[in-house]
């Protein structure tokens, strides 16, 4: 487990199924100011792959490696 990061915002997507996690994540990142840190908590297995891949494809950077927390994943992404 890496050092705890202080996120500016948290997007809690637990329970939502695809494609909503990836849509919500990209839209939220778009709305934030550049450099702000977004924490995303998601538990839809499809989103474990499409959220990080699409965040990167859309030009955002990860603050640290994705964290697997039981049946959910936590991502830290810079807007």
Partner 1 sequence: MKSSIQSIFQRYWNPYLVLLMAGILSALYFGLTSTVWAVTGEFTRLGGDILLWFGVDISDWQYFDMVHLQGATWNRPDGWIVWGMFVGALIMVLLSNSFKIRLPQQKRRYVQGLIGGIIAGFGARLALGCNLAAFFTGVPQFSFHSWIFIVATGIGTFFGAKLTKTRWWKGKPSLTRGNAKPTQLKNRMIQPYVGGVIAALYIGLIIYFFASGQKLLGLGALFGLAFGILIERGQICFTSAFRDLFLVGRSVMAKAIILGMSVSSILMIIVISIYDVTPITQIAALSTFVGGALFGLGIVMASGCETGMMYRLMEGQLLFLPVFLGNIIGATFLAYAWDHLGVYNVLVKNGAKINLLETLGPIGAISITLLMLGGLYALTVYGEKRYHQKLAIKRGMKVHAS
78 touches partner 1 (CB under 8 A): no
- CB of 15: closest distance to partner 1 in angstroms? 5
**Cis previous bond, 13, omega within 30:** no
Q: Does 2 bind partner 1 (CB under 8 A)?
A: no
Residue 29 in contact with partner 1, rule: CB under 8 A: no
Beta-bridge partners for 78: 37, 61
Which among 44, 38, 35, 50 is positioned nearest to 11, based on CA atoms? 38
Please identify every residue annotated as catalytic.
18
Residues 1, 2, 3, 24: which binds partner 1 (CB under 8 A)? 24
């Amino acid at each position: 487990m890496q050092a705890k990061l202080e996120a500016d915002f948290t997007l809690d997507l637990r329970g939502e199924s695809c494609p909503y996690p990836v849509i919500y994540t990209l839209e939220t990142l778009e709305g934030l100011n550049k450099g702000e840190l977004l924490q995303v908590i998601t538990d839809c297995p499809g989103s474990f792959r499409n959220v990080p891949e699409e965040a990167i494809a859309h030009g955002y950077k990860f603050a640290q490696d994705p964290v697997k927390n039981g049946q959910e994943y936590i991502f830290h992404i810079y807007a």
